[in-house]
Amino acid sequence: MSHHSVALTFIPPITLPCFILQLSFSLLLHCELVHIHPFNMRWTKSAKRKLSFPIITAIICTLTFIFLLYTEMISTISSGSILRFKPCPKRNSADDRELESDQLDNPTDDSLDFDPDECSVTHGKWVFNTSVKPLYSDRTCPYIDKQYSCIKNGRNDSDYRYWEWQPDNCMLPRFDPEIALRKLRGKRLMFVGDSLQRNQWESFVCLIESVIPQGKKSMRRGRVHSVFKAKEYDATIEFYWAPFLVESNTDIPIKSDPNQRIIKVDSIAQRAKHWLGADILVFNTYVWWMSGLKTKALWGEFENGEEGYEELDTTVSYRVALRTWANWIDSTVDPKKTRVFFTTTSPSHQKNKEWGNINGIRCYNETRPVMKKGFWGTGSNKEMMNVVASVMGRMKVPVTVLNITQLSEYRIDAHTSIYGELQGKLLTAEQRADPLHFADCIHWCLPGVPDTWNQLLIAYL
């Protein structure tokens, strides 16, 4: 009888079924060689003479081990492993080799798991995770306004920076500055809207600027139009101040008294001409409309000073203004060249009783998100959101909605509160001691919630 040896080699789990069949055949063949009949298991006299008990034990143990390993793998797969069975491969095709090469080159490309048509980003939960550090801080990024620099302004707790949004039925890819810059190569990304849109713009700039070498980036700040440039990528990330999107008498200079504000609900051209040529436009408008049940709306130019306005229900003025914006988009924007986004309501958190903190003072001193599923406060007006949905439903140019409202509703802990500014000046000690009147429960600390909005934006891109 000739002697056979079995070499131990690494067997990839995905080919294990094939390996078991092959090894079983080899062992059966080995049994024939030593005169063990594979079916009736009767031993011949020569087998009794030539096959020792240790060899029999080794064969049985080997088959048992393989069976247990295979069973464990089946259990792993059924519990949600990414492994899948493949038929026993005779050889790898060119397509298979190319796919395997791509997988090796991009082993952690989370974007492959995100499908915006199937993933509902509005349904999910905030998960605390200190293992992943923020990409920047208000001390390392030089472009954050004092208004959003909470830690620098004296906020002691920092847990609000470590909450991650996890959708229920999919995985949201992390914000990767390199991937974001590659997507923006040769493009203009412009955020248009109010101070919350500036909040998001500064977040985006800070998320990418740390990977750009000094000398290859620049910032030009203006009262209306600001531009950050990533020179190596020939990309700009811009912000344009237009709190109502349409024109008003309070864009510059700002009128702090809402009763003095008049909105030119049918005029947008003087603002919109600066948006031409952008490859990606991200709009928002909401919070400036919410100063009362009525707004002063004006048609045409200010020919008679600021006379001739009408007081309309806020939702009526909002609808007329959004139609003016939508008509400009439909008549001016080429969807083959420009991608249009609209960021939904950023909620304010003014009424602490809504989330059950009876002894609290608005959003002041809150350190954790609301954990109640589907929490919705009065800071997000559903009637106004319905106006947005109604107007966009009639547009010819497709608009991608960044639905940030529900996920932001939970984040009562992440506002600037008493660690921000009032009319361009940091709060005094006396003002900080009076959060009932001076806590800012509208804007967000950076880093913070707007980083998640930008995470969504890049995922959609």
Considering the candidates 251, 415, 443, 451, report the single residue annotated as catalytic. 443
Active site includes 313? no
Phi then psi for 188, rounded to 5 degrees? Answer: -110, 120
Q: Kindly state the tokens that stand for 29.
A: 């063949």
Distance CA 409, CA 190 (A): 25
345 Cα distance to chain centroid: 16
List, as own/partner pairs, every contact residues 312-315 make where C-beta atoms lie below 8 angstroms and the sequence separation is at least 24, other chains included: 314/289, 314/290, 314/384, 315/383, 315/384, 315/387
Distance CA 278, CA 189 (A): 6
Distance CA 42, CA 49 (A): 14
Distance CA 400, CA 454 (A): 14
The candidate with the shortest Cα–Cα distance to 440, out of 459, 417, 461, is: 417
AA letter at 421: E
DSSP 128: E
Considering the candidates 176, 194, 440, 451, report the single residue annotated as catalytic. 440
Q: Which residues contact 339 (CB under 8 A, 6 or more apart)?
A: 279, 280, 281, 400, 461
Active site includes 440? yes
DSSP string, 188-200: EEEEEESHHHHHH
Considering the candidates 195, 225, 274, 279, report the single residue annotated as catalytic. 195
Active site includes 415? no
Catalytic residues, which ones? 195, 440, 443
